[in-house]
Amino acid sequence: MLNKNRIEFEKKTVTKMVGFYCKKLHRCQGILCPECAALLEYSHKRLDKCVYQNDKPTCSKCTIHCYKPDRRQQIRDVMRYSQPRMLLRQPHLVLLHAIEGLFNKKHKKKGKKGSPPSQG
C-alpha cells in the first residue's frame, strides 16, 4: 500500500488538516498562523522521529504516544475539525488513511513503557 511513503503521506495529510483548521477557525488565508505553523512543524518532527517509520500504524492505533500532552490535544482538535471536511475536499486522503488503518495492526510494546520496538 503506502508503506514505501508512509511518513510523507502522513505529513501531507496533517498539512492539509492543519490548513483547513487554521483557515476556518483562525481566519488565515494562504499562510498558517504562528500557533498552527508551530503545531505543524512539531508534527512533522515527530513523524521524522517515528520509531516505526514506514511501518507506522495510524496514530490512533499506535502504542507509543510521541506527542506531548498539550500538543496531543491540539492535534486532536485539528483532526476532529478537519476529518469531516477532508471527506468532501480530499476524499482520496481520507480513503487511503482509512485503508491503512484497517491493514496496519497495532504494534505491541516491547520492553519499558514507550520504548521503541526491538529491531530483530
- Please, which residues have CB within 8 angstroms of residue 108's CB and are 6 or more apart in sequence? 63, 117
**Host domain of residue 44:** 3-103
Q: Answer whether residue 112 is part of any domain.
A: no
> If pLDDT is split at 50, 70 and 90, which confidence band does 85 have?
confident
Look at residue 49 in the predicted model and tell me its pLDDT.
Answer: 93
Whether 38 maps to a domain, the answer reads yes
pLDDT value of residue 110: 44
Length of the chain: 120
Highest mean pLDDT among 2-11, 39-48, 78-87, 109-118: 39-48
Tell whether 11 is covered by a domain: yes
CA 35 – CA 54 distance, rounded (Å): 28
**Which residue bears the cell 511501518?**
55
Query: Helix or strand or coil: residue 7?
Result: helix
Per the domain annotation, does 30 fall within a domain? yes
What whole-number distance in Å separates Cα of residue 95 and Cα of residue 93? 5
Number of structural domains found in the chain: 1
Q: Out of 49-53, 66-70, 108-112, which region has the weakest mean confidence (pLDDT)?
A: 108-112
Tell me the pTM.
Answer: 0.76
Q: Is residue 115 part of a domain?
A: no
Contacts of 9 (CB under 8 A, 6+ apart): 2, 96
Q: Is residue 58 part of a domain?
A: yes
* pLDDT reported for residue 46: 95
In a domain, 32, yes or no: yes
Residue in the structure block whose three cell numbers are 496531543: 72
